Amino acid sequence: MPTNVDTVYKATIDSSGNIGTFDTTNQGQLPQVLAYQSTITSTINGTTYIYVLGGQNSNSVSDSQSTVYKATIDTNGNIGTFDTANQGQLPHIMDKQTAATVTIGGVVYTYVLGG
C-alpha cells in the first residue's frame, strides 16, 4: 500500500493543454498527511482560495477528519499556508466525499456530497 503524504505539487498547463514538470517550490504544504480528501477552489473578490475538506490522516477509516483547510493562491499560482482559522468545519468526519462550488446571484456555495 502506498504511503500517504502531505505534499502539494504544482505544474503549469501550456496553451496546448500539456502539463509541465511537477514541483513543490513555493508551495504551502498540507499541515498533516491526508488521503481521500476533497479539494475545491473559488475566487472571492479577486482572491483565489483553495480548500481541502475532510480526508484520512492515515490508512485507517477511524482517522477520518472533519477539518476544512483554506489557503490563498497568489498571482504566480503559488499556494500559501493552509489554515483552519475562521473556517466552518464539516459537521462530522468525512472521507471519499465529492465537493463542488457554484456562484448563484453573486453568492458562492460549497456542496459536499457523500463521504
3-state secondary structure of 35: strand
Q: What is the pLDDT of residue 115?
A: 83
Note the pLDDT of residue 52: 96
Which parts of the chain register pLDDT below 50? Answer: none
How many CB atoms are located within 10 Å of the residue 93 CB?
Answer: 16
Predicted local confidence at residue 1, as pLDDT? 60
pTM of the model: 0.90
Instruction: Name, in order, each residue with C-beta under 8 angstroms of 39's C-beta and a sequence gap of 6 or more.
Output: 50, 51, 52, 53, 99
The percentage of the chain sitting over the pLDDT mark of 90, rounded to a whole number, equals 82
Residue-level pLDDT at 61: 62
**Residue 57: predicted pLDDT:** 86
> What is the pLDDT, as a whole number, of residue 62?
73
| Cβ-contact 65, 55 below 8 angstroms | yes
pLDDT at 58: 75
Cα separation, 10 vs 103, whole angstroms: 26
